[in-house]
Amino acid sequence: MHMDIMAQFMLILPELLLAAGIVVLMLIGAFSGERSYTVITVLAIGVMIAAVIMLITLPLQGTAFGTALICDAFGRFMKIMALTAAFIVLIMSVGAARAGKFDKFEFPVLVLLSCLGMLLMISAGNMLSLYLGLELHSLALYVMAALDRDNARSAEAGLKYFILGSLASGLLLYGISLLYGYSGGHIDFTGLSQVLRKDPPQLGLIFGLVFVLAGLAFKISAVPFHMWTPDVYEGAPTPISAFFATAAKIAAVAVIVRLVIMCFGAAAPVAGSMPAWQQIIVFIALASMFLGAFAGIAQRNIKRLMAYSSITHIGYILVGLAAGTIIGVTSVLLYLLIYAVIMLGCFAFILAMNTESGPVEKIDDLAGLSRTNPFMAGAMSLFMFSLAGIPPLSGFFGKWYVFSAAVQAHFVVLAVAGMIAAVIAAFYYLRIVKIMWVDEPKGRFLAMPKELQLVLWLSGLFTLFYFLAGIWFLPWAETAAKSLF
């Protein structure tokens, strides 16, 4: 375990790169003032791409600083995904930041800070580093949600997210302290998992576990801790919502997966039924799928709709996690990949919903889009059918992976319930298709900026041709999943 200090620093090279980048960019920004937004954005994207390349080319494994940070295939997979999503969001945000007048240099720096937090929490090997990573990540997000500070809705979103987020952090920390106390001083995942294995499980430990999972459920916006999601998605500037929907979600799911599998996975069953963590995950999966499906029907604002849709999809992801097997974790990773690509496309689409009189967000503003802008409408229809899980689009394969993992682990009822929720949710996806194809056009959108076109093309092609290329991602995800067991 006692590696020399240089080797330990080598393991966290991407994190160090980001940290150094943050400091340097902040200095550049502070000295050159408001005008430096473009330069800083380009540099921030460069730093993130460099970190991604580093993660791909340096497949180092091991633990650093005691049990604090774990570098494994799972972490690499998640980090690459989260960072890639983050820099694509940053690329997409340039136009919107200009138009929304939040083109300040702090924005890319905050994104970097949040990414650093994500990397730390993804590789966290004990409760403290998990908490610290999560807080670094979240504090940056609180500010980002309120970035458009002259806009009351944005300020409200930031405040709401901050207050509820702090509450969740409190729950998490309280849970950690319970686990620490009742386990006799363990904060590292492996140590805790050994204590949790004892049968019958101690009540105090179960309480701790419940609090920790509740705190994390908030971060992934699973029901019943989802209240903030629609308001924040709607209120925050659109690029920030895209960040919430993709990068932040990937990181939060990574944390919950690692914690559940490495730490809680070994826990003894409660009263002859499933282990405590599994009961919780099954419940919040069911609740998320159905609440997201039903509540989405009433939404007319596309960002709110995406928020409810994301709640449903978190439910599906948790179905895969509930299986608690290698197949289950593999399915979660692939689902996240597919979902994140679709979400990037959807948000590129939403960012392009600009009329002469400014950006619009109502789904009725899409009326007749297939006539006025066939490319946008075609891509969005693909995303909607894919989110509804219709083959041969990528979303179908995501569903296939998670639900078949659940069936394999004998959660057939859960799978059937998920299918029913999917039909309900399909209604609002189809309604968007219907509005674009059946209704009469009302107005036109302005021409799409080049960078958004590119993102829309790429994610559209991915969604359409996943059935050809998808097989390549399977071995990566499998290796990543195996590294947790």
Partner 1 sequence: MTDQWPILSTLTFLPLFGALLILVIKDEGEAAKRNIRNVALLTSLFVFVLTLIMWAGFDKNNPGFQWREQIDWLGKGLGYHLGVDGLSVLFVVLAAFLMPFAILASRYSVKERLKEYMVAFLILETTIIGAFCALNALLFYIFFEGSLIPIFLIIGVWGGPHRAAAALKFFLYTLLGSLLMLVGLMAIYWQVGTLDIPVLLSYHFPVTMQIWLWLAFFASFAVKLPMFPVHTWLPDTYVQAPTAGTLMLSGILLKFGGYGFLRFSLPMFPLASAKFAPLIFVLSVIAVIYMSLIALVQKDMKRLIAYSSVAHIGYVTMGIFAANIEAVEGAVFQMLSHGLVAPALFLSVGMLYERMRTGEISAYGGLVNNMPKFAAVFMIFTMANIGLPGTTGFIGEFLTLIGTFREHSWIALFAATGIILSAAYMLYLYRYIIFGSLSRESLKSLLDLSTREKCLLYPLAGLIIFFGIYPAPLLNMLHGSVELLVNNYQQALANSNAIFAK
Where do contacts with partner 1 occur on this chain (CB under 8 A)?
370-371, 385, 388-392, 396-397, 399-400, 403-404, 407-408, 412, 415-416, 419-420, 422-423, 426-427, 430-431, 433-434, 437-438, 467, 470-471, 474
* Nearer residue to partner 1 within complex by CB, 138 or 309: 309
* Nearer residue to partner 1 within complex by CB, 227 or 416: 416
Sign, Cα dihedral of 373, 379, 384, 385: positive
Question: What is the smallest separation between the CB atom of 450 and partner 1, expressed in angstroms?
Answer: 22
The b-or-e profile of 259-291 (16+ CB within 10 A means b, else e) is bbbbbbbbbeebeeebbbbbebbbebbbbbbbb
* Nearer residue to partner 1 within complex by CB, 449 or 470: 470
Question: What is the smallest separation between the CB atom of 1 and partner 1, expressed in angstroms?
Answer: 37
* Nearer residue to partner 1 within complex by CB, 176 or 338: 338
Question: What is the smallest separation between the CB atom of 406 and partner 1, expressed in angstroms?
Answer: 8
Question: What is the smallest separation between the CB atom of 399 and partner 1, expressed in angstroms?
Answer: 8
393 phi and psi, to 5 degrees? -80, 165
Question: What is the smallest separation between the CB atom of 302 and partner 1, expressed in angstroms?
Answer: 19
Tokens of 30: 């502070």
Which amino acid belongs to residue 102? Answer: F
- DSSP character string of 368-382: THHHH-HHHHHHHHH
* Nearer residue to partner 1 within complex by CB, 215 or 395: 395
Question: What is the smallest separation between the CB atom of 472 and partner 1, expressed in angstroms?
Answer: 11
- DSSP character string of 433-475: HHHHHTSPP---PPPPPHHHHHHHHHHHHHHHHHHHHGGGHHH
As a whole number of angstroms, the distance between CA 18 and CA 23 comes to 9
Question: What is the smallest separation between the CB atom of 459 and partner 1, expressed in angstroms?
Answer: 18
CB atoms within 10 A of CB 4: 8
* Nearer residue to partner 1 within complex by CB, 56 or 416: 416
* Nearer residue to partner 1 within complex by CB, 283 or 427: 427
- DSSP character string of 244-287: IIIIIHHHHHHHHHHIIIIIITTPPBSTTSSBHHHHHHHHHHHH
CB atoms within 10 A of CB 160: 18
Crossing angle between the packed helical segments 13-32 and 37-57, to the nearest 10 degrees: 170
- Specify whether the CB–CB gap between 219 and 252 falls below 8 A: yes
* Nearer residue to partner 1 within complex by CB, 279 or 408: 408
Return the residue matching tokens 């509740």.
214
Question: What is the smallest separation between the CB atom of 402 and partner 1, expressed in angstroms?
Answer: 10
* Nearer residue to partner 1 within complex by CB, 128 or 474: 474
* Nearer residue to partner 1 within complex by CB, 46 or 392: 392
What are the C-alpha distances in Å from 9 to residues 3, 15, 65?
10, 9, 9
155 phi and psi, to 5 degrees? -60, -40
Question: What is the smallest separation between the CB atom of 282 and partner 1, expressed in angstroms?
Answer: 16
Question: What is the smallest separation between the CB atom of 317 and partner 1, expressed in angstroms?
Answer: 17
* Nearer residue to partner 1 within complex by CB, 422 or 448: 422
Return the residue matching tokens 């179908």.
396
* Nearer residue to partner 1 within complex by CB, 301 or 408: 408
Return the residue matching tokens 């067991």.
485
What are the C-alpha distances in Å from 12 to residues 6, 25, 45, 66?
10, 20, 19, 13
Question: What is the smallest separation between the CB atom of 405 and partner 1, expressed in angstroms?
Answer: 9
Contact residues for 189 (Cβ-Cβ < 8 A; gap 6+): 67, 125, 126, 127, 258, 259, 262, 263
As a whole number of angstroms, the distance between CA 425 and CA 8 comes to 46
Question: What is the smallest separation between the CB atom of 320 and partner 1, expressed in angstroms?
Answer: 12
As a whole number of angstroms, the distance between CA 69 and CA 3 comes to 13
* Nearer residue to partner 1 within complex by CB, 153 or 371: 371
Residue 300 DSSP label: -
Question: What is the smallest separation between the CB atom of 372 and partner 1, expressed in angstroms?
Answer: 13
